[in-house]
């Protein structure tokens, strides 16, 4: 069983010391996406302190907002409150109260809501200690104890907080054969500690950089192995997000350039490149979404719909050494880039993209008819001096068609010929690992791109690094990533 731990989210209006309370929804969205797409746990345990101040008048609204994000998880979830979450009754008006003994996949989970004690400690009632004994009746599988406040053998580990009757609890845990005890509360976390057959895990906080979550693999015999993963990228890698959208995108969810710059630093990036859709800057939403701009080209652009001046104003206000402004640009169906020559002079960073093809495919059995169109559009795009080819096979995925393997090699050859990087992009556009492998073997370089439309997506390259590993790459990322002038 794969278990994910989330704890100490501390949602609030502003940072409190190292706690990034104002980032809580963004961090939670980011970790939920990571768990669903990459980790795929069997169960998620949320170990309390979802709020920074559960006594605020809007605590219920904040909990409801966090619940909407947590509900996006594709796996069973168990949520318990912490000492910052306010009244337990109010908390469980929002979240579903877990059973005293819950069972998932042959593992029993015991959630404890221990009584607060001075010094941010807690005490477990005798009734709850007795529940530990009941959990073993008629059951031979692993048992997991979960609580908010740290639980450790006091004499074996330094933790500033603990259960005040920890020795009594641990004695019963040993008698019962508990395999795993998990807790949060101490934001730095404590190194895993094994006492007999019990593994004690104290998970670091999600709300403090590098924004950890914890993964545990638990086997049928009760043996557990843990791994901590940060939502921020390792700063020493000096990664750059080469493709992200701004508040000017028609498809923006919550983007804001000033916030994006701050978050990029929080998430360990060395730099970012804003790349707004050029078609959205020249054409109104209807013309853009119905692809009139691709059919008719720049000749059909009208001055009253032109927002390029506003985008250049953003560029003037925010561009710096680690923040670049560019464009994501399509070619029209005749192969002409959707950027006016005068505007092109302002941007060195152009990401080429294919959002449509001349022929509309209705019958998947006739897919081969558009392959030549695809390669024509790819080559015309690569001839425009673009730094990378964004989400190369998006047009197939968005048409609910299989990505044709016969296009992998000719696309890679074109990228090599024109010395253009292949973009790794996970914004609903999962790159085929076979294509990545071909590019690696041919020496085609890559760019890492979030294609962010939501602040929680910025610079989350765990997927990209995992994909490169799947394709057989285990070397220095700098050997396969192209530089982008940052």
Tell me what pLDDT residue 360 has. 61
Tell me what pLDDT residue 156 has. 82
* Residue 400 token pair: 């609910």
- From CA 344, how far away is CA 111, in angstroms rounded? 59
* Residue 76 token pair: 């069973």
Which sign does the torsion angle of CA 26, 32, 37, 39 carry?
positive
Residue 480 near residue 468, CB atoms below 8 Å: yes
Which pLDDT tens digits describe the chain residue by residue (486 residues)? 999 999 999 999 999 999 999 999 999 999 999 999 999 999 999 999 999 999 999 999 999 999 999 999 999 999 999 999 999 999 999 999 999 999 999 999 999 999 999 999 999 999 999 999 999 999 999 999 999 999 999 988 777 899 999 999 999 999 999 999 999 999 999 999 999 999 999 999 999 999 999 999 999 999 999 999 999 999 999 999 999 999 999 999 999 999 999 999 999 999 999 999 999 999 999 999 999 999 999 999 999 999 999 999 999 999 999 999 999 999 999 999 999 999 999 999 999 999 998 876 556 666 667 888 899 999 999 999 999 999 989 988 887 778 889 999 999 999 999 999 999 999 877 789 999 999 999 999 999 999 999 999 999 999 999 999 999 999 999 999 998 878
Nearest one of 121, 111, 172 to 146, comparing CA atoms: 111
Tell me what pLDDT residue 372 has. 87
Residue 54 near residue 88, CB atoms below 8 Å: no
* Residue 166 token pair: 């920890």
Give 207-254 as a DSSP string. TSTTTEEEEEEE-TTS-EEEEEEESSPPGGG--EEEEE--TT-TT-SS
Nearest one of 33, 14, 3, 11 to 463, comparing CA atoms: 33
Domains of the chain by range and CATH?
Answer: 2-230 (3.60.21.10), 235-479 (3.20.20.140)
- From CA 29, how far away is CA 48, in angstroms rounded? 17
Q: C-alpha distances in angstroms, 202 versus 115, 192, 227?
A: 18, 7, 12
- From CA 452, how far away is CA 244, in angstroms rounded? 5
Dihedral Cα 85, 26, 206, 35, nearest 10 deg: 110
């Amino acid at each position: 069983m794969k278990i994910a731990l989330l704890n100490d989210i501390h949602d609030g209006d502003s940072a409190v010391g190292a706690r990034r309370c104002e980032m809580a929804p963004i961090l939670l969205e980011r970790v939920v996406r990571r768990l669903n797409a990459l980790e795929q746990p069997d169960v998620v345990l949320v170990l309390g302190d979802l709020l920074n101040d559960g006594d605020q008048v809007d605590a219920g609204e904040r909990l409801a907002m966090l619940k909407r994000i947590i509900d996006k998880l594709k796996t069973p979830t168990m949520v318990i409150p912490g000492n910052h979450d306010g009244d337990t009754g109010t908390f469980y008006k929002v979240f579903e109260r877990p059973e005293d003994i819950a069972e998932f996949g042959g593992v029993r989970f015991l959630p404890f809501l221990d009584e607060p004690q001075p010094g941010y400690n807690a005490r477990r009632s005798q009734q709850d200690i007795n529940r530990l004994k009941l959990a073993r009746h008629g059951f031979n599988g692993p048992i997991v104890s979960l609580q908010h406040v740290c639980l450790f053998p006091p004499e074996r580990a330094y933790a500033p907080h603990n259960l005040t009757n920890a020795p009594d609890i641990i004695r019963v845990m040993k008698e019962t054969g508990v395999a795993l005890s998990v807790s949060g509360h101490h934001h730095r976390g404590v190194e895993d500690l094994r006492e007999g057959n019990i593994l004690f895990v104290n998970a670091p906080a999600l709300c403090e950089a590098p924004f950890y979550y914890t993964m545990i693999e638990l086997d049928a015999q009760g043996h557990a192995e843990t791994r901590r993963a940060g939502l921020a990228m390792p700063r020493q890698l000096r990664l750059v997000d080469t493709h992200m959208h701004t508040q000017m995108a028609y498809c923006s969810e919550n983007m804001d350039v000033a916030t994006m710059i701050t978050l990029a630093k929080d998430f360990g990036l060395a730099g970012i490149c804003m790349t707004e859709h050029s078609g959205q800057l020249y054409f109104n939403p209807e013309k853009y979404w119905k692809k009139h701009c691709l059919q008719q080209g720049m000749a059909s652009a009208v001055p009253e719909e032109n927002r390029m001046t506003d985008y250049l104003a953003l560029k003037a206000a925010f561009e710096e050494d680690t923040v670049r402004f560019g464009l994501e640009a399509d070619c029209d169906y005749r192969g002409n880039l959707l950027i006016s020559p005068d505007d092109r002079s302002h941007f060195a960073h152009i990401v080429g993209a294919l959002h449509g093809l001349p022929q509309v495919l209705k019958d998947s059995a006739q897919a081969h008819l558009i392959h030549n169109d695809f390669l024509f559009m790819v080559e015309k795009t690569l001839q425009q001096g673009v730094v990378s080819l964004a989400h190369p096979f998006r047009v197939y995925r968005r048409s609910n068609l299989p990505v044709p393997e016969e296009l992998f090699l000719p696309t890679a050859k074109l990228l090599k010929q024109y010395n253009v990087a292949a973009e790794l992009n996970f914004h609903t556009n999962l790159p085929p690992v076979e294509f990545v492998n071909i590019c690696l073997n041919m020496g085609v370089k890559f760019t890492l791109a979030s294609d962010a439309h939501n602040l929680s997506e910025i610079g989350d390259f765990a997927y990209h690094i995992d994909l490169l590993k799947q394709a057989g790459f285990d070397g220095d990322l700098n050997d396969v990533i192209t530089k982008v002038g940052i």
